[in-house]
Amino acid sequence: MTYFNESDIDNLHLIYKINLINSCSGYKSANLIGSKSKDGFENVAVFSSVTHIGSSPAMLGFFLRPTTVLRNTYENLKNTGYYTINHIHKSIIKDAHHTSAKYDDSISEFDATDLESEFKTDFHAPFVKDAPIQLAMEFVEEYEIKANNTILVIGKIVGLYVNDNLIEKDGFINLSKAEVAAINGLDGYAIPENKTRFGYQRPKVLETKSE
């Protein structure tokens, strides 16, 4: 195996280090976060850091890089309190990834790609049309990660839209049926297949070993 100690990692070429560390954690969720400014400008951007926070109440979090540069998603959700999370699926991967380009806040990524915005039930922020899972989110709180000046944004799920054929009898959403993508590193996309599910695990009754 190739081994990198802390000093090795610190001295790597910047791009090599970014790729290495972003991919070593494994596959991550692939989502488009939709938002709209107070002035009505729509924004959509790819994120690979959306994570489960809790089920009761239903909350999700995601991480943002330092706000020393333009972060339209962050500004919009802080100013309006609302945003959407939309799962990236196989047919929109190329356009979804292009939303990582840094456009001015007056330019919508919906206009720069073939992605289409969709509004539902008077919710302020746009959803991504035809995304198989769409979540309406309300901003709750944020935490500064002082070690690297990133921000953990926590939001509450106030609406959940799921294609009917994806929900199994026990509530499990089978993402593989919708060809939902996962991200490896910053720019590697994969379509996982759901091969096996295991039920809730309980401790085994172990036999006492005789001396």
- For residue 196, tell me if it sits in a domain: no
Average pLDDT on 130-145 reads 97
Please report whether residue 165 resides in a domain.
yes
Say how far apart CA 156 and CA 17 lie, in whole Å. Answer: 34
Asked if residue 193 is part of any domain, the answer here is no
pLDDT band of residue 70 (cuts 50, 70, 90) is: low
The pLDDT score that the predictor gives to residue 192 is 94
| Inside any domain, residue 208 | no
pLDDT attached to residue 68: 55
Contact 44, 117 (CB under 8 A): yes
* Alpha-carbon distance values, 202 to 2, 7, 14, 205 (Å): 37, 42, 45, 9
- Asked whether the beta carbons of 106 and 122 are under 8 A apart, the reply is no
Mean pLDDT of 137-147: 96
Reply yes or no on whether the pLDDT at 133 is more than 90: yes
What confidence category does residue 69 fall into, taking pLDDT thresholds of 50, 70 and 90? Answer: low
Least reliable range by pLDDT among 28-32, 33-37, 118-122, 205-209: 205-209
Query: From its phi and psi, is residue 108 left (phi > 0), alpha (psi between -120 and 50) or beta?
Result: beta
Mean pLDDT confidence for 51-59: 96
Q: Is residue 9 part of a domain?
A: no
Q: What is the pLDDT of residue 65?
A: 82
pLDDT of residue 67: 64
Q: Rg of the Cα trace of the chain?
A: 20
Whether the pLDDT of residue 73 is over 80: the answer is yes
Q: Is residue 159 part of a domain?
A: yes
Give the total number of structural domains in the chain. Answer: 1
The reported pTM is 0.92
Distance CA 174, CA 180 (A): 9
Domain encompassing residue 79: 25-187
**CATH code, domain carrying 121:** 2.30.110.10
- Greatest alpha-carbon span in the chain: 76
CA distance 172 to 30: 18
Note whether residue 12 is domain-resident.
no
**101 in any annotated domain:** yes
